[in-house]
Amino acid sequence: MMTDENTTIAVRIAESIGERIISGALQPDVKLRQDHVAREFNSSHVPVREAFRQLEARHLVVAVRRRGVRVAPLDTNSVKEIAEMRAALEVVALRNAASKLTSAHLARIELSLIEADNAQTIQEVETANRAFHHALVAPCAMPRLLASLDGLQLANSRSVFATARSAGWQPRSNQDHRLILRALRARNVDQACNLLARHIQTIEHLALPAPDQE
């Protein structure tokens, strides 16, 4: 049975390991050993097992029979699946959020664009990018959908960081984001949703892993 303390420790372990997987510090197929993780976090195996379950639910690790827990693969199929799920679910969220967007919501979306323009590193750009997509749909007030989208967005960040490591990183334009915001300001929801779906599908092609990563 998980105590409150063990639950807190499990969340901390899952967040720490999750960040390493997303950033690429832990590569696909790397084995995660319970005893090593427990020793690193000075914990028992109970919260470590729970942390692994949380990471598996976020599709960051996989439990393979006789091979233990390993970092989930990052291949073309994974990237396509993430993009298709995001394109479908984020559009649903935006359609539900659009009628609830206030001037304060629109200002928060615009602030994320400014943060992206001022970003100096890929980490800062990705933080701003996640903030944009979250602010875009947050007013939908659909917690299960938003939780799913947050997980998908982190998975997308993982592929972006992997691409940057293999092919180098160059700042990219926020024009798609600005067009989406413009459509929302004009209350043209259909156009905003079409732009969003196209944007996510375009990013999928930019984030596809290089052949030697598959």
Listed residue (210, 208, 165, 201) closest to 77, CA to CA: 208
Candidates 1.10.10.10, 1.10.620.20, 3.30.450.90, 1.10.3720.10; correct CATH number of 4-71? 1.10.10.10
Q: What pLDDT score does 1 carry?
A: 61
pLDDT of residue 178 exceeding 50: yes
Indicate if the pLDDT at residue 164 is higher than 80. Answer: no
pTM for this predicted structure: 0.80
The CATH 1.10.10.10 portion of the chain extends over: 4-71
Pick the CATH number of 76-213 from 1.20.120.530, 3.40.50.2000, 3.40.50.12160, 1.10.3720.10: 1.20.120.530
Distance set, CA 196 to CA 41, 132, 178 (Å): 40, 12, 11
Q: Per-residue confidence at 204, pLDDT binned at 50, 70, 90? A: low
Q: Does the pLDDT of residue 212 top 50, yes or no?
A: no
Q: Where in the chain is the domain with CATH 1.20.120.530?
A: 76-213
- Per-residue pLDDT for 34 more than 50? yes
Confidence of residue 214 (pLDDT cuts 50, 70, 90): very low
In the predicted structure, residue 206 carries a pLDDT above the cut 80: no
Give the pLDDT mean for 92-100: 97
